Amino acid sequence: METQLDPVKDDLPLMANTSYLLVKHYILDLDVDFKSKVIEGSIVLFFGTGSRYRKASSTGNEGSQSQFDEACKRKTSESCHAPVTNVNASSSETKYNEFAICGKGEDTSDEEQSSRISSSRDICDIENHGNKDFLLILDCCDLSVIKVEEVDVAAVSGIEKFTGFAKLTNVSKELQNLRNQIVHELVTLPADRWKEQLHFFTCCSQAPGCGELLFTSGTWSLEIKKSGIQTPDDFPHAIRIWYKTKPEGRSITWTTDQSGRPCVYTMGSPINNRALFPCQEPPIALSTWQASLRASKGFVVLTSGENSAEPVQLQEGVSSWYYYVTMPMPASTFTIAVGCWQEVKQQSSTAAIQTNTEFSLTSLQADFRWHKEVCSHVEYPCRFQNPAAKLQAVIPYRVFAPWCLMGYCEEHLLQLIPRCLSAAYTTLGTHPFSRLDVLIVPSNFSSLGMASPHIIFLSQSILPGGSHLCGTRLCHEIAHAWFGLAIGARDWTEEWLSEGFATFLEDIFWARAQQQLSHDEVKGQQELKALLRWRRLRDEVQNSEEELQVLR
């Protein structure tokens, strides 16, 4: 019996059991088909051990198994949900909680729609034939999953040179253990070997499958198991999922741009990316990714990536675009936009602004930001430790828009970007990301802007508003590079924190970007905005239900 989710009051369930296996890297290999309004292909997931199972394993194998079994016997689980704003879909009753592996703040309840697992409800129920197989649960909805298989990473040529097979002499000779050990060494490579790591991730993603895995597609999840595998440690650490999206999928929007040409882009909200690819959505699940996307010639593919991808023609009429990210990020921050976008080229005046900005860097070198910084985050090629990145007041950027809006972008947006980037750098220091794409999205975009790693979506509504509206919104989204992306809340119910920081910083950035303003003019401008915000907040409080006025 399914319970309906109230789109205003209820939360989106986070189903992934991240306490035992964490996705460390995704490789997406997808085709974008505008005729059928479907994105299809495969995704390869590389896993590392989750926090709970690492702690259990430290007590020894015997203790690890007993603690895992105890978790399987639980009759209840604590729920963790993400905020829902526009979802009108069915939730599910808790019917798997007697076997699902769930850590604090995670819910594994789901309504089974179609089953390829016999008696999957009782997978970890000791009373059911003594079967206690481990079940991997991923966040997923509005997807047609075709096949799930284990990837034979041991078949990759040259893998033995980098994994150091000498280390494997004390490991069980079973091929499953060998494959998992290879993945473990691959996901734990030091940051200075990131190019080599990406190369072998790619090679492993192209390795053949070595056995199909059983799976169940539910309303909000994809559940996967391998018969006879009872612990996360023995579960395949590299799996490939063949799937396709649905035209009605709520993570992406198929529409036309302002010039009437077809396009598709990620919404980034009510259900995050779970209708784009199976993933782990709790923000503690930080991962890197690579994405190869193919579309018809003439389309431009933009996505969250550190590289400025250029199209590679694969066959007549089809081009491929490749992006990668080496900073571990929540899967929900991945963004894609495919359309007949036109790049707005830099003008000479823009280059002059950038040159003048960088001329003033010598005066900043005495600032505390130039001292050696110690980062406490997980290891990755961090820009805060990169001397060259510390000198980069304006990171490389590109602007894309439909053909009919290029004039507006040339007149307003293009000249503001270096000033806003420089103002952010002067305020906060090193940019967390190495480059930036800015895209004017279709008119059905429901917000003024949205920031993702290496890419910002902006509404067309800000362009006619002159430099002030365009500049303040751009500053707001740039601030999210630090607050919301490089630093984020521990769970999705606290997103107001990053919004608060970005709203506060947009005024500071914009004041510095308007170099011609006096101190009194800046102060008056900020006081006026503060008054307008206060009036808006007062009106919202007076016209909303009391339960919607409480911070969670």
Residues 166 and 265 in one domain: yes
Residues 236 and 322 in one domain: yes
State pTM to two decimals: 0.82
* Assigned domain for 532 exists: no
With a CB cutoff of 8 Å and minimum separation 6, the contacts of 527 are none
Give tens-digit pLDDT for 511-523: 999 877 788 888 8
**Nearest partner of 304 among 328, 283, 280, 285, judged by Cα:** 328
Residues 174 and 27 in one domain: yes
Domain end, chosen from 333, 358, 393, is at: 333
* Assigned domain for 322 exists: yes
> CA-to-CA distance for 49 and 233, rounded, in angstroms?
7
In the structure, what pLDDT confidence band is assigned to residue 524 with cuts at 50, 70 and 90? Answer: confident
Average the pLDDT over 392-399 and give the result: 96
Residues 173 and 279 in one domain: yes
Question: Of residues 320 and 490, which shows the higher confidence score?
Answer: 320
Amino acid at 501: F
**pLDDT score, position 190:** 92
Domain span including residue 287: 21-55+130-333
Q: Residue 303: which H helix or E strand, with range?
A: strand 300-303
Amino acid at 39: I
Neighbour order of strands in the sheet with 312-315:
209-212, 143-151, 238-245, 38-49, 21-33, 286-296, 318-330, 312-315
**pLDDT score, position 4:** 56
CATH of the domain at 292: 2.60.40.1730
Residues 470 and 326 in one domain: no
| Nearest-10 Cα torsion for 394, 400, 401, 406 | 70
Q: Which residues are catalytic?
A: 477
Residues 170 and 228 in one domain: yes
Question: Of residues 173 and 448, which shows the higher confidence score?
Answer: 448
CATH of the domain at 396: 1.10.390.10
* Assigned domain for 345 exists: no
Residues 298 and 187 in one domain: yes
Amino acid at 344: V
Q: Residue 12: which H helix or E strand, with range?
A: strand 11-13
Give tens-digit pLDDT for 31-52: 999 999 999 999 999 999 876 6
**Nearest partner of 334 among 386, 385, 280, 373, judged by Cα:** 280
| Nearest-10 Cα torsion for 1, 268, 468, 494 | 60
Residues 234 and 326 in one domain: yes
* Assigned domain for 456 exists: yes
Residues 200 and 301 in one domain: yes
* Assigned domain for 393 exists: yes
**pLDDT score, position 164:** 59
Q: How far is CA 164 from the centre of its chain?
A: 31
* Assigned domain for 496 exists: yes
Question: Of residues 350 and 220, which shows the higher confidence score?
Answer: 220
* Assigned domain for 535 exists: no
In the structure, what pLDDT confidence band is assigned to residue 374 with cuts at 50, 70 and 90? Answer: confident
Count how many domains the chain has.
2
Residues 181 and 41 in one domain: yes
Give tens-digit pLDDT for 181-216: 999 999 999 999 999 999 999 999 999 999 999 999
Residue 346 is given by DSSP the state P
Residues 195 and 296 in one domain: yes
DSSP assignment of 234-273, as one string?
Answer: TS-SEEEEEEEE-TT-TTEEEEE-TTS-EEEEE--STTTT
In the structure, what pLDDT confidence band is assigned to residue 163 with cuts at 50, 70 and 90? Answer: low
C-beta neighbour count of 530 within 10 angstroms: 11
